[in-house]
Amino acid sequence: MDDADVVIIGAGAAGLSLARRLAALGPAGPAAALVLEPPAGPLRSPQRTWCWWEAAPGGEYDAAVRASWDRVAVYGPGGGRTEAPVAPLRYKMLRSDDFAALVARELADRPAVRRLTAAVTAVRDGGRWAEVDADTPAGRLRLRARWVFDSRPPAVLPPARTRLVQHFRGWFVRTARPAFDPAAALLMDFRVPQPPRGLAFGYVLPTGPGQALVEYTRFSRAPLGREAYDAELDRYTREVLGLGPFEVTGSEQGAIPMTDAVFPRRTGARVFRIGTAGGATRPATGYTFSGIQRQTRAIARAYAAGRVPLPPPAHRRRHLVMDAALLRALDRGRLDGAAYFAGLFAGHPPGRLLRFLDGRSRLRDELLIGLRGPVLPMALSCAELALLRRRAGHPG
Ligand SMILES: Cc1cc2nc3c(=O)[nH]c(=O)nc-3n(C[C@H](O)[C@H](O)[C@H](O)COP(=O)(O)OP(=O)(O)OC[C@H]3O[C@@H](n4cnc5c(N)ncnc54)[C@H](O)[C@@H]3O)c2cc1C
């Protein structure tokens, strides 16, 4: 049995963010930390593109950011376009492989934090140590660690009242003629047919006049099959965006839980969950990356101070209450989701809205957003939620 101060399970957004923050603590950090990541195959998370907004310049990942925008746009279901600058913020795009390469460079001269190819099979909590079992290319491994941070996506979601999924597929496209405005990220384009419940939109991240990541996204109860996404993307790129001839140079597909489930951040005396598994996803938007940064910064601070490195909640309670009402209203068909989100962008200054969507808004922002929104569907959903208990499986 090998010993480590810290074992981080998973080298995705949360695992690598935490690894680099612990490594940066130097002598105040762990003397030995291991990041475990399965070999390429079904367990390993596929490559993906993360976007978030933050003050520019000077972001800690700027060296790896592929593209960024100082304007964002939204199309309402009737075709009206709202476009606004987001200064002093910037909407930034980071590819997961670029992020992994950046972290690998940072860790190269910090031997206290090592990466190991290992698929974790079991985690056992204990009073003084936790144990982690893993399969490695060299055979079975059992590790003893003072602290374990587990970012494996949960196989089963915790009990919930509402379970929606934000699911999407995107194409990296190269067009024959200039077709995009590289100055603005198109966050939500509601000029696509709307499902009876939930909502659907296009998302366009232009990296040049003839290059973009174009996605089709839905908020609903279950993901679609690949052919259905491709059919929607085909229609969106040709009929709505009118791209003309183009080639698809790559793709990505994913699903993010949108739920009022409570994700436990501590599952034992020595075992914590981080990332999506630890509740970092904002339920009403799916944005997770900035919540992960907040959580991992706080863990590193606690570690350096010799405190129990418990991940703090990534989102404020009142935001989770608002999100639960919104998800319920969407799921019950009480709310026209496309009109709601398009109205948010049209009716509020981008700074207020982005603070709200990122979970950094002030109470005043939320009151203004709440009062100018669909008060009745939200109030009905709040009343309904008060009578419901969180349950395993899908709510009826
Ligand atoms: C396609 C896609 C695009 C997204 N885009 C955005 C975005 O633009 N902005 C945003 O804020 N959020 C986005 N999200 C949501 C969220 O930020 C990501 O899912 C993010 O990757 C979550 O980080 P994580 O560390 O919790 O999970 P992951 O990044 O999935 O990391 C989990 C890690 O656990 C590893 N693992 C799994 N099983 C084992 C095992 N048995 N042993 C060891 N390791 C294991 C996996 O290989 C993986 O590396 C996106 C999600 C997807 C799916």
User: Could you tell me the CATH number of the domain that includes residue 40?
Assistant: 3.50.50.60
Distance CA 140, CA 119 (A): 10
pLDDT above 50 (res 280): yes
Best mutation site among 132, 288, 293 for ligand 1, i.e. most ligand atoms within 8 A of its Cβ? Answer: 288
Please check whether residue 395 lies inside any domain of the structure. no
Please check whether residue 172 lies inside any domain of the structure. yes
Distance CA 77, CA 70 (A): 24
**22 within 8 A of 300, measured Cβ to Cβ:** yes
Cα 258 to chain centroid, rounded: 10
Do 349 and 292 share a structural domain?
Answer: no
Do 249 and 116 share a structural domain?
Answer: no
Average the pLDDT over each of 92-101, 311-320, 353-362 and give the range with the smallest value. Answer: 353-362
Do 241 and 132 share a structural domain?
Answer: no
Closest residue by CA, ligand 1 atom 33: 10
pLDDT of residue 283: 96
Please check whether residue 59 lies inside any domain of the structure. no
pLDDT above 50 (res 187): yes
- The neighbouring-strand residues paired with 86 are none
Do 273 and 235 share a structural domain?
Answer: no
pLDDT of residue 373: 78
pLDDT-above-90 percentage for the chain: 84
Do 362 and 287 share a structural domain?
Answer: no
> Of the residues 259, 292, 327, which one is the last residue of a structural domain?
259
User: Which tokens hold the place of 273?
Assistant: 């969950």
Strands (E), the chain: 2-9, 33-37, 49-55, 67-69, 71-75, 81-85, 89-95, 113-117, 119-124, 130-136, 139-150, 163-175, 184-189, 199-208, 211-220, 246-259, 271-273
Which band of pLDDT confidence, cut at 50, 70 and 90, is reported for residue 395? very low
Between the CA of residue 139 and those of 118, 120, 136, what are the distances in Å?
A: 9, 12, 5
Number of domains the chain contains: 3
Which band of pLDDT confidence, cut at 50, 70 and 90, is reported for residue 1? low
Distance CA 327, CA 161 (A): 10
What is the Å distance from ligand 1's center to 98 Cα?
14
Q: Quote the domain boundaries for residue 101.
A: 2-47+96-157+261-304
Distance CA 182, CA 203 (A): 13
Do 235 and 174 share a structural domain?
Answer: yes
- CA of 168, closest atom in ligand 1: 1
Distance CA 87, CA 206 (A): 18
Do 147 and 270 share a structural domain?
Answer: yes
Q: Which residues contact 393 (CB under 8 A, 6 or more apart)?
A: none
Do 127 and 242 share a structural domain?
Answer: no
- Rounded to an integer, the average pLDDT of 229-239 is 98
Do 238 and 107 share a structural domain?
Answer: no
Give the domain CATH number at 240: 3.30.70
Which band of pLDDT confidence, cut at 50, 70 and 90, is reported for residue 396? very low
pLDDT above 80 (res 370): no
- CA of 121, closest atom in ligand 1: 41
Best mutation site among 18, 151, 205 for ligand 1, i.e. most ligand atoms within 8 A of its Cβ? Answer: 151
- The neighbouring-strand residues paired with 300 are none
Which band of pLDDT confidence, cut at 50, 70 and 90, is reported for residue 392? confident
| Rounded CA Rg of the chain | 21
- For 296-313, how does the pLDDT look when each residue is reduced to its tens digit (9 = 90+)? 999 999 999 999 999 999
Q: Which stretches within 183-287 are classed as H helix?
A: 226-235
pLDDT-above-70 percentage for the chain: 98
Do 372 and 250 share a structural domain?
Answer: no
Please check whether residue 219 lies inside any domain of the structure. yes
37 lines ligand 1 (CB under 6 A): yes
Do 274 and 134 share a structural domain?
Answer: yes
Best mutation site among 69, 251, 276, 293 for ligand 1, i.e. most ligand atoms within 8 A of its Cβ? Answer: 276
Question: Is the N-terminal amide bond of 57 cis, ω within 30° of 0?
Answer: yes
Please check whether residue 18 lies inside any domain of the structure. yes
Do 283 and 249 share a structural domain?
Answer: no
What is the Å distance from ligand 1's center to 163 Cα?
19
Q: Per the confidence metrics, is the pTM higher than 0.85?
A: yes
Which band of pLDDT confidence, cut at 50, 70 and 90, is reported for residue 112? very high
Please check whether residue 340 lies inside any domain of the structure. yes
- For 60-74, how does the pLDDT look when each residue is reduced to its tens digit (9 = 90+)? 999 999 999 999 999
- Rounded to an integer, the average pLDDT of 196-214 is 96
Closest residue by CA, ligand 1 atom 10: 287
Which band of pLDDT confidence, cut at 50, 70 and 90, is reported for residue 33? very high
Please check whether residue 72 lies inside any domain of the structure. no
Please check whether residue 70 lies inside any domain of the structure. no
Q: What is the mean pLDDT of the chain?
A: 94
